[in-house]
Amino acid sequence: MIRRLRLRNWRSYEDLRLRLEPGTTFVVAPNGVGKTSLVYGLAWGVFGQHSRVEPKACIRAGAESAEVELDIAFPDGRRLSISRTAKRRGAPKATYQMDGSRLTESSALAEIEQAFGLEIQAAGRLSMMLGGGHIAASDALNLESHLHQAFGVAHLLGAAETALSVAREARKARELLRSTTRRRLENRAALEQEIAILADEIVRLNRRSLDLERVRDAAAAQRSVVERHLALAGESERYEQQRSRLMAEIEGALGRPVSSGSSQGAALELRSELETSESEIIEATERAVTARSVVSAAEQAVTLLSGEDAICPTCMRPLPHRERASAISVHRTRREGAEAEVNRLERDRSARQTRGREVSQLLARLEALRPPSLQVEGADVPTRDEAEARYRQASADLDEHNRRLGGMQSQLKALKAQVESDDEVQQEDRRLRLAYRREAAALAGEKVLRAAADRVIKSRIEPMASELRSRWKHLFSNNGLVFRPDGSITRSREGEELKWDSLSGGERTWARIVTHLIVMGTTTSLPFAWFDEPLEHLDPQLRHAVAATLATATRGGSPRQLLVTTYEHGIAQQLADDTDGAGIIAIRESGASLSHVSADSDGDG
């Protein structure tokens, strides 16, 4: 149970220190003073995010953070200390210590669940009734999962759900097998007839494919002939153009038209011209040699005549001075004439050599010019566009035919596969029977498991339901309250089962409180519970009955500690005076101090 509580900057409390004792404690104060703040602090301190309390909304005005500290005394004597802090920014933080040793959050929650005997979420729902009794009781407790765990039937129900899932899957498989088998039996004959028709059509289409391939190949061959024809025509045209240009150059070089006009005639004339040019070059060379001899002889004569002892270069006799000058003049004139002749002959020979080279080059080009190896045929050949159009059309026809043939072949293959699979009808029938048996077995197992779980639940829940009915009848003087195996509460009236919301507000508040207490006492080890304003909006008689129920709730030892907030000071005081283990904490208007009537208190708030 809770032994110590401290609240700092929590809603209406700046700093509250409180020690709680066993028994029922009524926290009494006018509305708006701090009763609910105390319960919210306890709830968030123990259960954190599972308390349904928003800690940031509980930070006191003007403060940046709020803190909740408390100690939980475990039945084995250990003490768990929890400290939680909420800031206006960021996530809340918490620390846990067991007898001074630090614990992780998961370890601390595991210790709480083990000590309380239920999951932390269910513990939060059972131990708290927040927001006023009339509001909290508007929705029934969600106890089904907890009761299943507490009664030890969760595994049975889980196995039942698994069996039901297996049965559903088996039903789907069975329905699919049944439908498929029936359709296959009905369509077998039609499939075989369709296969025969398709096979005949495919044979015909295969023959047609050969014909279309031949048409396509003929069109391709014709296209090749056209391309070859066009290539030869191009070569012939280029040859004639080159020959015409070359013949024009030859005639220009010869200075006359070629007599025959043919390439052979031009070659003969070029060779003749080349021979003539070579003869003239030889003749010019020989004449130049002779002229150079004359120049050399004249120079020697002038040398002989120019000395002191001048002699005649012809008769070798001495010449007088008067004859010597005349002889030198004659020989110089002869030398100059010979030199002029040499120069003329060299120019002539160079010109003839140049012409010879031109003629030789023309002859070489003429001899290198070759006509096309094949002549263009004169047959009727279509144009390139016509040949290409025929080839494309033939290819398109063949492709379209092959697509149609391929589609039929795929269809035939699929039909044959379907017929072959139809041969497995007997096997599918066996699988169908197996699916029936599997579904039946799964459904039977599901029923057995649920029946076993229901027997356990009914046997365990009946004492709680009986206690609830007895208390109901004692208080309201009528029967009809039903505590169902799923933890919900209904009311039976004249054979009709009415839902939870058909009860009045007071009836729901009482039933909710008593259900809390009964379920806590019989299925958990929860040592404490907190009820916020459970007497609000109740008529006087019911208010006294509910308060008395809460005042005596801890007598059986489970729960050991109960905290109830109320503004009914008179009722609380009377019950505290008349009931062992019941006490009061009175909160004054200022919220600044507390007084505990029947239990020890060691702090003021």
pLDDT band at 272 (very low <50, low <70, confident <90, very high): confident
pLDDT band at 131 (very low <50, low <70, confident <90, very high): low
349 near 193, Cβ under 8 Å?
no
pLDDT band at 48 (very low <50, low <70, confident <90, very high): very high
Q: Does the residue 76 lie in any domain?
A: yes
Q: Per-residue pLDDT for 423 more than 60?
A: no
Instruction: For residues 489 and 191, give the distance between their C-alpha atoms in angstroms, rounded to a whole number.
Output: 63
428 near 181, Cβ under 8 Å?
yes
Q: Which pLDDT belongs to residue 12?
A: 87
pLDDT band at 600 (very low <50, low <70, confident <90, very high): very low
Among the ranges given (84-98, 362-376, 514-528, 583-597), the one the predictor scored with the smallest mean pLDDT: 583-597
DSSP, collapsed to helix, strand or coil, labels residue 536 as coil
Beta strands in 547-597 (DSSP E): 561-566, 582-587, 594-596
The domain tally of the chain equals 1
Q: Which pLDDT belongs to residue 424?
A: 59
Instruction: For residues 345 and 232, give the distance between their C-alpha atoms in angstroms, rounded to a whole number.
Output: 51
Q: Does the residue 198 lie in any domain?
A: no
Comparison of pLDDT for 217 and 316, the residue scoring more: 217
Q: Per-residue pLDDT for 593 more than 50?
A: no
Q: Which amino acid is at 121?
A: Q
Q: Which pLDDT belongs to residue 554?
A: 87
CATH of the domain at 131: 3.40.50.300
Structure tokens at 282: 């030889």
Q: Which pLDDT belongs to residue 96?
A: 96
601 near 594, Cβ under 8 Å?
yes
Q: Does the residue 45 lie in any domain?
A: yes
Instruction: For residues 333 and 348, give the distance between their C-alpha atoms in angstroms, rounded to a whole number.
Output: 23
pLDDT, mean over the chain: 81
Sign of CA dihedral 525, 5, 143, 516: positive
Instruction: For residues 514 and 549, give the distance between their C-alpha atoms in angstroms, rounded to a whole number.
Output: 8
pLDDT band at 596 (very low <50, low <70, confident <90, very high): very low
Taking only the tens place, the pLDDT of each residue in 571-587 is 889 988 988 889 998 88
Sign of CA dihedral 571, 574, 579, 581: positive
Which residues form the domain of 528? Answer: 2-143+488-596
Comparison of pLDDT for 474 and 327, the residue scoring more: 327
Q: Which pLDDT belongs to residue 162?
A: 84
Instruction: For residues 551 and 541, give the distance between their C-alpha atoms in angstroms, rounded to a whole number.
Output: 15
Q: Per-residue pLDDT for 309 more than 80?
A: no
Rama region for 533: left / alpha / beta (φ>0; ψ in -120 to 50; rest): left
Q: Does the residue 132 lie in any domain?
A: yes
Q: Which pLDDT belongs to residue 601?
A: 35
Which among 522, 485, 586 has a CA at the least distance from the CA of 35? Answer: 586
33 near 591, Cβ under 8 Å?
yes
All residues at 6 or more sequence positions from 253 whose CB lies less than 8 Å from its CB, including other chains: 355, 358, 359, 362
The owner of tokens 């566009």 is 385
- Beta-bridged to residue 93, according to DSSP, are 85
Q: Which pLDDT belongs to residue 64?
A: 95
Structure tokens at 170: 């088996």
Comparison of pLDDT for 313 and 78, the residue scoring more: 78
Q: Which pLDDT belongs to residue 343?
A: 92
pLDDT band at 187 (very low <50, low <70, confident <90, very high): low
Instruction: For residues 561 and 237, give the distance between their C-alpha atoms in angstroms, rounded to a whole number.
Output: 121
Q: Does the residue 130 lie in any domain?
A: yes
Q: At what angle do helices 105-116 and 120-127 cross, to 10 degrees?
A: 60
2 near 19, Cβ under 8 Å?
no
Q: Mean pLDDT across the stretch 394-401? A: 90
Q: Mean pLDDT across the stretch 541-563? A: 85
- How many CB atoms sit inside 10 A of residue 100's CB? 7
DSSP, collapsed to helix, strand or coil, labels residue 23 as strand
The owner of tokens 């039996």 is 185
pLDDT band at 425 (very low <50, low <70, confident <90, very high): low
Q: Which pLDDT belongs to residue 25?
A: 93
Q: Does the residue 538 lie in any domain?
A: yes
Q: Does the residue 83 lie in any domain?
A: yes
Instruction: Tell how far CA 4 is from the center of its chain.
Output: 54
Instruction: For residues 168 and 449, give the distance between their C-alpha atoms in angstroms, rounded to a whole number.
Output: 16
pLDDT band at 139 (very low <50, low <70, confident <90, very high): low
Taking only the tens place, the pLDDT of each residue in 80-96 is 999 999 999 999 999 99
Instruction: For residues 492 and 458, give the distance between their C-alpha atoms in angstroms, rounded to a whole number.
Output: 18
Among the ranges given (131-140, 476-485, 533-542), the one the predictor scored with the smallest mean pLDDT: 131-140
Q: Does the residue 437 lie in any domain?
A: no
Q: Which pLDDT belongs to residue 15?
A: 93
CA distances (Å), origin 181, targets 26, 397, 425, 435: 74, 42, 6, 14
Comparison of pLDDT for 510 and 80, the residue scoring more: 80
Q: Per-residue pLDDT for 592 more than 50?
A: no
